[in-house]
Chains A and B, each alone.
Chain A
Amino acid sequence: MQGATVPHTTHTTGAMQANEQQRGGFSGFARACWTAAWLAYRNLRYYPSNLALAGAQELTAIGVWYFVGRFLNVSASQAVRQYGANYLAYVVVGVLLNQVCLAALNGPFTTISEAFWEKRLETYRLSIHGIWANVIGRLGWDVVFSTVLQCVALALLLAFGGLSLHAGVNVPLVIGASLLLVFANAGLGIAGASLFFLLEVKSGQDPITWAYRYLVMLASGLYVPLAVLPGWLRWLSGILPQTYGLAVVRKLVLTGVGWQSASLWGALAPLLVAAVFSVACGYVLLSLALRRAERGGGIGVVV
């Protein structure tokens, strides 16, 4: 093996050197992410019906649980006493937040899969910020788009649906906790995307995000309070970031607790750990997967 050499400028053109400064660094990476996000937006706008359907799909998911919540509100509210004894608000807030998390969870695998089959993945690989800018940019778009839709749904339900939140909500803390939960899901999503190369799962869904999605529905307290779950399922709920994220955000918006609340930190601390751990796992796994694909020739469709 030849030792690493120090690059010199013998082979670089003037234009390339000028571009080099502009392209590199964080601002270059941010621009590349923005470009990927713009492409996702542009593709959605190209088919206006898809844009409308995406909105309708999100609103339907909320609508279903809104009516379930209304139906069970009287009988189930006592079971959620620690969240303000309002089952309708409990389930709606949980589902709204979970929809954003799903966008972060599913986005990376879809991004890698689409770019691979549309023969763009290798071309991204040839750019200075590579596949990562595409994954992060597209992830950002998915989260922002979903957040906007959830905010619209929340506004409609607050205005016309009889939904009520606590008057003294600590908005920055809500945003911070929500972001931690989104990061935790994004990390898992990126880890799931790595299976595209590690397990050669080239279509359909990756096992990590698929399993996580169903575990969340079952054991995170998304639809029913954790108290109703059997002991072994409650143990499982302890390893799901959603369990902590949903608890924190519900406490903040339904009971109005502040940052000094001990019960809040009891859920916020594990959420922080989960976010850091899953983002780190996602980064390591996808980097590993891309390196493995480079050895096996699996990044491009045409080999």
Chain B
Amino acid sequence: MAVTAGTTATSAIIDVHGIGKSYRQAGKLAGRGQLAALRNVDLRMETGAVLGLLGPNGAGKTTLIKILAGLLRPDSGGGSVLDYDLLRQHRQIRAHVGLVAPTADVGIDNNLTVWQNLDFWASVYGLHGAQARARIAGLLERLGLADKADFWPMRISAGQRQRLALARSLLAETPLLFLDEPTNKLDQEGVRSVRQMIAELNREQGVTILLTTHVMEEAEELCGEIALLNAGELVRRQPTGELMRSLQLARPITLVIGYADRLPPHWQTEVSALPGVISVMLDGGGATPEGDGLAGDACHLVSDATLRVGSVDLRASTSTLLGWIRKHGLALRSMRAEPVTLTDVFTTLAQRRVQPAVDAE
């Protein structure tokens, strides 16, 4: 079943309908045939939006991005991207969109330094002289590559190469950017800086972004809306918060609390009543020594317990849980919230029979 956005705003930067694409398949085992990559996909995106396109491997995300970027012709359907006709004006579309591929070495020449690579692509994109130099310097600074400008690409890390690929795609200053797993291979610092940059691009320059990712947390942080693609079909599309709430995905929050002996008699009822909380469980409550436990220490025994809470609204649940802990004079030793994974989302959808089961990644 294809799901449309159903929005009625007038400034659609992407407005495509009925997009279908099949690849010719030839193999001794599989035999000859057509492999359907996309089936009847409708997609509308407003100018300035950030849409997360999520789906397991082979769902058709990259195929859809390539079609929208004018790199691949659909077998069926049509529409417009940047007001250019998808079927007739793909050359114009290609010239006005940016694309970051999931593999970092796309478009990078190992015989040119980091700076020379960007200088080369700046020329290809029509930037020259002082304008090109300023833009390259700015991008290297923002992406934390300024000190790597004179390095050969093979001498920098995979994450830094990914940032270089991102810098290349940002040179052209296009109003529409397709980011195909942009934080793939990045370390935590790299992920943070790239996410920050994506948010800034959208907020400060009004760049419309279509982002594919496997990381739900990333989609939640960056995307106003999430579209779920599975087996070539757009199975769901909703504003991010609404989707998470509607799926009722219980996110485990683990709290280690001290002075558990001060827990009120009806603690379970009270915690269950907090916003977003759908399950509560208490482990332990055994005595542990306070301090480092070495001989000679004053040994004040207190009860520590692990409270496991399932929440469908992380923000609301954590803030009210903290208030509840303070109110009862308990001590918070640690708190950890597990992120929801893409597999959780698709498993939940499968369980609700919205779609056939998805093989986990």
A: which residues have CB within 8 A of B? 1-8, 10-13, 15-16, 19, 22-23, 28, 31-32, 34-36, 38-39, 42-43, 46-47, 118-120, 122-130, 133, 291, 294-297, 299-300, 302-303
Contacts and interface: CB of A to CB of B under 8 A. Distances in A.
Given A23-B125, A32-B123, A126-B99, A16 B175 contact: yes
A137 to B, nearest CB: 10
A186 to B, nearest CB: 21
Rank and list the top 6 A-B pairs by shortest CB-CB distance, nearest first.
A23-B126, A123-B107, A35-B123, A128-B95, A46-B111, A119-B106
Contacts of A302: 62, 101-103, 106
B94 A297 contact: no
B47 A1 contact: no
A276 B329 CA distance: 90
B80 A2 contact: yes
A5 B85 contact: yes
B92 A22 contact: no
20 contacts: A2-B78, A5-B80, A5-B85, A6-B83, A7-B83, A16-B173, A23-B95, A31-B123, A35-B123, A123-B168, A125-B94, A126-B69, A126-B97, A127-B94, A294-B72, A295-B75, A296-B24, A297-B72, A300-B66, A303-B66
A15 B173 contact: yes
Contact of B176 (A11, A39, A119): A11
A31 to B, nearest CB: 7
Interface residues of B, number: 61
Nearest to A299: B71
A111 to B, nearest CB: 14
B71 A125 contact: yes
B212 interface: no
Given A39-B120, A119-B106, A11 B99 contact: no
Contact of A11 (B106, B121, B126, B208): B208
Contact of B126 (A22, A125, A291, A299): A22
A190 to B, nearest CB: 19
B106 A122 contact: yes
Contacts of B24: 296
Contacts of A12: 82, 96, 175
B90 interface: yes
Given A35-B123, A119-B107, A300-B66, A11 B13 contact: yes
B88 interface: yes
A28 B128 CA distance: 11
Contacts of B75: 295
B267 interface: no
Nearest to B112: A42
Nearest to A31: B123
A110 to B, nearest CB: 15
B105 interface: yes
Contact of A296 (B11, B23, B121): B23
A199 to B, nearest CB: 14
B328 interface: no
Contacts of B124: 32, 35-36, 124, 127, 129, 133
Interface centre among A2, A12, A124, A294 (most CB of B within 10 A): A2
Given A7-B82, A12-B175, A43-B111, A28 B126 contact: yes
B87 A11 contact: no
Given A7-B83, A31-B123, A130 B71 contact: no
A128 B126 contact: yes
A48 to B, nearest CB: 12
B126 A1 contact: no
A118 B109 contact: yes
Interface string B332-357: 00000000000000000000000000
Given A3-B85, A5-B83, 17 more contacts: A2-B78, A5-B80, A5-B84, A7-B83, A10-B11, A10-B47, A15-B173, A19-B172, A31-B128, A35-B124, A126-B69, A127-B95, A291-B73, A294-B72, A294-B90, A297-B66, A300-B66
B85 to A, nearest CB: 4
A294 B72 CA distance: 5
A123 B125 contact: no
B208 A4 contact: no
Nearest to A295: B73
Contacts of B112: 39, 42, 46
A119 B105 contact: yes
A12 B91 CA distance: 16
Nearest to B92: A7
Contacts of A38: 120, 123
Given A120-B109, A128-B95, A294-B73, A7 B173 contact: no
B63 interface: yes
B285 interface: no
Given A11-B13, A294-B72, A297-B72, A39 B109 contact: yes
Interface in B175-233: 175-176, 205-208
Nearest to A300: B71
